[in-house]
Amino acid sequence: MRKIIFNEDKCFIDSSVNFGIGVFETIYFLESKPIFLNYHLGRLKNGLKVLNFKDLEEEEILEVINKIYLKNHALKILVTEKNIIISTRENNYDEETFKKGFKLDFSEVLRNSTSYLTYIKSTNYAINILEKIRAKSLELDDFIFLNEKGFVTETTVSNIFCIKDSKIYTPKISDGLLDGTVREFLIKNYNIIEKSITKEELLEMDEVFLTNSLMGIMKVKKISDKEFKSVATSKIKEFYNSSITLSGGDLNYDR
């Protein structure tokens, strides 16, 4: 049963509750270390600027984070016009998930490359969640969004990389996608070619993998009826895992 709230002072009911205007970040804690914390906080600040909200209360948030002990869990920071909501949950991605690999297909919904909400971690996230649920109902792990021009952008929750003849490609940001933490890490550590990629080009690749802060690197086993290898993907995953274990995921938001 839903809880009925009559809130006279409007302290919680704001533009995020009424219209979905807000930003959030999901941060992975490896052992007890928050991975890519600086990048996540920087992206939050940028999102708040886009929404014309006041600046982030970074010191207060860091005080809370420093008091929390998490091991292999996710911490979510949701910032709205009047509220900051911090919550935690388990990370359900594991080695068994990677070994199995993801099965994907293409969404019928198009990503809008002209919308500035596409480029921030917006709480206006309903279409992503609904499409993720629809993918699961079809026994898929996720859907891939194309943009209005027919170019590959991202899945409902992750960035896309692909490999052909030992070259690594990823869709360029301006095609309509969020610049993810792991995406930025790989671009800084590998020779990644950012370009517009068509559906047909993606299906001709040798390997495809996904990235986000919780799954890290996730191999794609199949898109539609096309199956993919994962030789180079496995090596990239090993490098990524060892790097964040040693460094704690130092990465600054500089875009």
Put the strands of the sheet holding 23-30 in their side by side order: 33-34, 23-30, 73-79, 84-90
- At 251 the pLDDT is 61
Would the pLDDT of 8 be above 80? no
Would the pLDDT of 4 be above 60? no
Give CATH 3.20.10.10 domain extents, the chain.
95-245
User: Among 3.30.470.10, 3.40.50.720, 3.40.190.80, 3.30.30.60, what is the CATH number of 15-90?
Assistant: 3.30.470.10
Kindly state the tokens that stand for 118: 């596409």
Question: Torsion over CA of 199, 124, 78 and 4, rounded to 10 degrees?
Answer: -140
Q: What is the spatial distance between Cα 113 and Cα 178, in angstroms, rounded to a whole number?
A: 11
Distances (CA, A) of 155 to 85, 185, 220: 25, 18, 12
Q: What is the spatial distance between Cα 70 and Cα 188, in angstroms, rounded to a whole number?
A: 27
Residue 8 main-chain phi, psi, to 5 deg: -70, -35
**What's the predicted TM-score (pTM) here?**
0.93
Kindly state the tokens that stand for 244: 């964040």
**Per mean pLDDT, which of 14-18, 154-158, 244-248 is the most reliable?**
154-158
Q: What is the spatial distance between Cα 111 and Cα 150, in angstroms, rounded to a whole number?
A: 9
pLDDT band at 252 (very low <50, low <70, confident <90, very high): low
If one looks up domain 95-245 in CATH, what number appears?
Answer: 3.20.10.10
Give CATH 3.30.470.10 domain extents, the chain.
15-90
Q: Is 171:155 a contact under the CB 8 Å cutoff?
A: no
> What is the bridge-based pairing of β-strands 73-79 and 23-30?
antiparallel
Count how many Cα atoms sit within 13 Å of the Cα of residue 86 in the half-sphere of its side chain.
Answer: 13
pLDDT band at 253 (very low <50, low <70, confident <90, very high): low
Residue 150 main-chain phi, psi, to 5 deg: 90, 10
- At 16 the pLDDT is 87
Residues 109-125 pLDDT 10s: 999 999 999 999 999 99
Would the pLDDT of 146 be above 60? yes
Q: Among candidates 209, 253, 254, 255, which has minimal Cα distance to 25?
A: 253
Residues 176-201 pLDDT 10s: 999 999 999 999 999 999 999 999 99
Would the pLDDT of 71 be above 60? yes
- Would you call 24 helix, strand, or coil by DSSP? strand
Burial class (CB in 10 A: 0-12, 13-18, 19+), 93: middle
In which element (H, E) is residue 129 found? helix 126-137
- At 121 the pLDDT is 96
pLDDT band at 3 (very low <50, low <70, confident <90, very high): low
- At 68 the pLDDT is 85
Q: Is 14:81 a contact under the CB 8 Å cutoff?
A: yes
> What is the bridge-based pairing of β-strands 102-111 and 142-147?
parallel
Q: Among candidates 181, 171, 166, 157, which has minimal Cα distance to 236?
A: 166
Q: What is the spatial distance between Cα 106 and Cα 127, in angstroms, rounded to a whole number?
A: 14
Would the pLDDT of 32 be above 70? yes
Would the pLDDT of 23 be above 80? yes
- At 17 the pLDDT is 84
Bridge partners (DSSP) listed for residue 159: 154, 211
- Would you call 89 helix, strand, or coil by DSSP? strand
